[in-house]
Amino acid sequence: MTILKNLGYWLGLPIVLIVVWYLATLGDVSIFVPRPLPLWEKFVSVWLGDNILSDVVPSLGRLLLALAISTVLGVALGVVIGSFRAARWFSEPMLEFLRAIPSTIMIPVLLLVIGLNDTMRTTVIVLGCLWPVLLNTITGVRSLDEVLSNTAKVYGVRGWNRVWHLVLPGASPAIMAGVRQSLAVGLILMVVSEMFASANGIGTLITNFQNRVAVPEMWSGVLLLGVVGVLLSAIFALVQKGVLKWYDGLKAAADDN
Amino acid sequence: MLAPLPVTGTQVIRVVKAMRRDRRAQWGPVVLGVAGVVAFLVTWQLYAEFGPVSDEFLPYPAQVIGQFFANFALTSFWAAIGATLWAWLLGLVISSVAGLVVGVLIGSSRFLRRATFTVLEFLRPIPSVALIPIAALAFGPQLEAELLIIVYGCFFVVLIQTLYGVADVDKIAYETTLTMRMTWLQRARHLVFPTLLPYFMTGVRLSATIALILGISAELIIGTDGLGQSVAQAQLNGAPVAMYALIVTAGALGIVINLAARAAERKVLFWHESIRAEVPA
Amino acid sequence: MTIDTNGSGRMGGDVRLHVENLSKIYRGRAGAVEAVRSLTFDLHQGEFACLVGPSGSGKTTLLKMISGLLEPTGGIVALDGKRVQGPAEGLAVVFQEYGRSLFPWMTVEANVELPLKTAGLPKAERRARVLDALNAVSLGHAMTSYPWQLSGGMQQRVAIARAVASRPTVLLMDEPFAAVDAQTRGELEDLVRKVWREHDMTILFITHDIDESVYLGSRVLVLSSSPTIIQDDIAIDLPDERDQVGTRSMTRFAELRALVYEEVQFAKTNAGGAREDRAA
């Protein structure tokens, strides 16, 4: 019974909305308003055929590569900057400025400096995704528990051991929060970077449809990006559940007391 | 009043060291911060001079900074900034109000919260920039196109924060207000609103940054008036110095918006503990 | 004040911890605060010394200086004849905040093993020591649990096991039972006595609880108020076999307790001076 009820909550409104949408678009509407059936047909014919390999996969490949680079870079820099006061003082004003630059505006520059290629598109995503990871890592490293940190010192846990056994796990809740923010930013930058002439990619395809004024096809691209976004955050939630198992347990234990 | 113990050489050295550390804490951030900026500029200079990128594409920092200030005398420069800020402000206000209203409506009913979950979880992650081509076709390079992108992106940010805020209203406090026979309006005013406000302000602060990014992206691609469009124009004209100077301007604008958003949050929430805790540094 | 810093010759062979003229002056914008004036004492192999003092007697400052977490303004701490500068090998610490001194992302076993791992011990040796230490605190069954799945008393037992497994020259305990309930506290006291005797350890136990210091220690050092000195050093001549009911109802226990109590009362008003009026 509860399963049925939950299912009702899950699917109820979407079904109602789709039916209303269908009925409302039966008559004559502006060409820019999508209709459910043609949208679905286009979604299947455009994205579930050859384009998966030729456009969707390259897009996601660049996104994941860029996310990996920004995570590694952000965590590495964040650990250094968070651990040393001098490094923090040295980098703070410059970082404060660089992160305030809206990352999409760097695209024209990167076009000049790097050229029109995948490296440029990946770099754009990294430039945007680096900041959430970096700033969260710095905060995470700085707010390590003092007693825990003293314990590590007393027991001779230093150098790499300290980073590996204390700093990284201790900062991991903050790091994961940063990566989650990066996901959303990364998806935006993936699309924008591909809207500047690209050989392939979801954004490129949508722009091509724009040039052909193929409106339902464009909407199907929006639908696809919604699906990608949902899948990415679902996968991330799974990873986070594994990585932060101890943290959830700790919080639950603290709430009981 | 200090110890009558014999003071040794090492002790004196330690005391001097401690005093030095104190002074370091005072001047360190300034000196090292300036050093950081200088190091960045020097690296840039050297890279422009000896790096693999041609001078045409990567001008020297001095040229860029010069252009940055020279721009201040140009009307077109201020017009671009004005256009960007106007779209930013309109977009931020519309999405904040819409997010707040919808959030309170959905949040105050358990039924609506559960029923809208799937729809929100699907619509939220759609990157609003995916709508850029549609907006470009539907509106052309007009303010409406840019607003659509900004509002779609920021609306969900404010909405989600508002939902958290409504969910955070203390159950016991709520029941207390019921026993006090408060009206719906009184309850909203004295209980829901104060609980909600910090969350809502967080949403607005996050949106302030996002709105700038989205607005500039829209200007860049659709060609709506503003900083983004100016940068795209400078690139097409082959004027890298102007382009870099505009990017520096965008960074400065970003900083100003960050600071303003934080200041606004502080001013509205001066009584809230998360703000109070930040004060002593 | 010239001190032989590697003076194993000057200090008796069985001196594990040597503290001499240790002092700490905190300097801030508001001026200098003298927290610790001059502390001198030796801890010999197999001793169980309790440090008691009124609150604000610089116990934490002292612990941090001995464990190398805080640089003293003057004086010397030496472990096995080697001067302590920074966290030293051969020193283990059990902190009061058990919940914050265990690594929450590691199992009980991994927590106990970590110091051994970073010290580069071979796997077999590590395994044997971890088992031995966890059995000593009766937690052999909880090896794969996470600290936050255990009660407060059990968590502190894990911290004790970690200290025991590292086979320290000296074990420092900083008010380790201040945050557990009274019943658990009694159990943990007996546990520490047992581990101390079975593993032939040398322990410096910091507490503000007079009963605890007399019950646990073979020796009680009373600290004065800040700026701190050692006000008195009392030998606890109770039998080695102690139990919560029997020992605590002994006449000698009451006498020693009264003695320490009187010293601590006096310490509350005494700062930086030795007591000379005490009858021997």
All domains in chain A, ordered by first residue = 49-256 (1.10.3720.10)
pLDDT surpassing 50 at residue B86 = yes
Residue type, A251: K
Q: What is the crossing angle of helices A118-142 and A85-100, to 10°?
A: 140
How far apart are the C-alpha atoms of B14 and B132, rounded to whole Å? 63
For the cut 80, the answer to whether the pLDDT of residue C31 exceeds it is: no
Cα B174 from Cα B170, distance rounded (Å): 6
Please give the structure tokens belonging to residue B68. 């940055």
For residue C88, give both structure tokens. 């030293």
Which residue of A lies nearest to B240 if distances are taken between CA atoms? A109
Decide if C273 touches A, using CB distance below 8 A.
no
Q: For chain C, how many residues are written?
A: 280
Contact (CB, 8 A) for C162 and C117: no
Q: In percent, how much of chain A has pLDDT > 90?
A: 40
Query: Quick one: pLDDT at residue C9?
Result: 36
Considering only the beta carbons, identify the residue of B2, B8, B11 that sits closest to C34.
B2
Could you tell me which residue, A238 or B178, shows the higher pLDDT? A238
Verify whether the Cβ–Cβ distance B3 to C27 is below 8 Å.
no
Confidence of residue B21 (pLDDT cuts 50, 70, 90): low
Q: How far is C21 from chain B (nearest CA, A)?
A: 10
pLDDT, tens only, A156-206: 898 899 999 999 999 999 999 999 989 988 998 999 898 886 778 888 888
User: Does B2 have pLDDT greater than 60?
Assistant: no
Confidence of residue B273 (pLDDT cuts 50, 70, 90): low
Looking up tokens 């612990």 gives C63
B53 touching chain A per CB within 8 A: yes
Rounded Cα distance between B125 and A183, Å, is 9
Contacts with C27 from chain B: Cβ below 8 Å: 15, 18-19, 22
* Interior angle at CA A189, CA A183 and CA A194, nearest 5: 130
Tell me the nearest-neighbour CA distance from A174 into chain C, angstroms. Answer: 14
3-class state of residue C219 by DSSP: strand
Which of A155, A166, A169 shows the shortest C-beta gap to C115?
Answer: A155
Query: What's the average model confidence in pLDDT over C50-67?
Result: 85
Distance CA B244, CA B64 (A): 6
Contacting partners of chain B (3+ CB pairs under 8 A): A, C
| pLDDT for res C7 | 37
Q: What is the mean pLDDT of residues C143-160?
A: 92
Residues of A in contact with C162 (CB under 8 A): 155
Q: Give A-chain residues touching C103 at CB under 8 angstroms.
A: 148, 165-166, 169
Question: What's the rounded Cα separation, in Å, for the pair C232 and C221?
Answer: 6
Between strands C82-83 and C74-79, the pairing is antiparallel
pLDDT of residue A231: 92
Q: Do B115 and A11 touch (CB under 8 A)?
A: no
Residues B48-57: tens digit of each pLDDT: 888 777 777 8
**Paired residues of C92 in beta bridges:** C171
Question: Once rounded to an integer, what is the mean pLDDT over residues A88-110?
Answer: 89
**Which of B134, B202, B230, B253 to mutate to test binding with chain A, by most A CBs within 10 Å of its CB?**
B134
Chain A residues in contact with B121 by the CB 8 A cut-off are 230
B234 to chain A, any CB pair closer than 8 A? The answer is: yes
Of C1, C34, C71, the CB nearest to B6: C1
What single string gives the DSSP state of each residue in B152-212? Answer: HHHHHHHHHHHHHHHHTS-HHHHHHHHHTT--HHHHIIIIIHHHHHHHHHHHHHHHHHHHH
What residues have CB less than 8 Å from C63, skipping those under 6 apart?
C93, C172, C174, C206
Lowest mean pLDDT among A191-195, B76-80, B277-281, C66-70: B277-281
Average pLDDT for B135-143: 88
The average pLDDT across C268-278 equals 63
pLDDT band at residue C276 under the 50/70/90 scheme: low
CB contact under 8 A, A253 and C87: no
Element housing C93 (H / E) = strand C91-94
Asked whether the predicted pLDDT for residue B150 surpasses 90, the reply is yes
pLDDT (mean) for A34-54: 84
Q: How far apart are CA B260 and CA B89, in angstroms?
A: 12
Please give the pLDDT value at position A63.
95
Estimate to the nearest angstrom the gap between the alpha carbon of C92 and the chain centroid.
9
CB B192 within 8 A of CB B166: yes
Which domains occur in chain B, in start order? 1-52 (no CATH), 61-276 (1.10.3720.10)
Mutation pick from B12, B13, B15, B21 vs chain C, by most beta carbons of C within 10 Å, is B15
* Residues paired with C44 in a beta bridge: C15
Q: CB C254: neighbour CB atoms within 10 A?
A: 12
- B99 pLDDT band, cuts 50/70/90, is very high
C-beta atoms surrounding B256 within 10 Å: 12
pLDDT band for position C2 (cuts 50, 70, 90): very low
Give chain C positions within 8 Å (CB) of A243: none
ipTM: 0.84
Which residues in chain A have their CB less than 8 angstroms from residue B257's CB? 100
Q: What is the pLDDT of residue C10?
A: 36
3-state secondary structure of C36: strand
Cis peptide preceding C227, ω within 30 of 0: yes
H or E element in which residue A107 lies: helix A107-113
Instruction: State residue B89's pLDDT score.
Output: 95
* d(CA C33, nearest CA chain B) in Å: 9
CA distances to A202, B56, B218 from A198, rounded to whole Å, are 10, 23, 18
| pLDDT at residue A149 tops 90 | yes
- Average of pLDDT values for B20-35? 78
What residue of A is the nearest CA neighbor of C168? A155
- Quote the distance between the C-alpha of residue C65 and its chain's center: 13
Token pair of A181 as six digits: 């923010």
Average pLDDT, chain C: 86
Name chain B contacts of A97, Cβ cutoff 8 Å: 251-252, 255
* pLDDT band of B17, cuts 50, 70, 90: low
Task: Determine the 3-state secondary structure of C174 from DSSP.
Answer: strand
Q: Which amino acid is at A39?
A: L
pLDDT-derived band at C8, boundaries 50, 70, 90: very low
CB contact under 8 A, A105 and B118: no
- Which DSSP string do the residues of B59-112 spell out, in sequence order? --HHHHHHHHHHGGG-HHHHHHHHHHHHHHHHHHHHHHHHHHHHHHHHHT-HHH
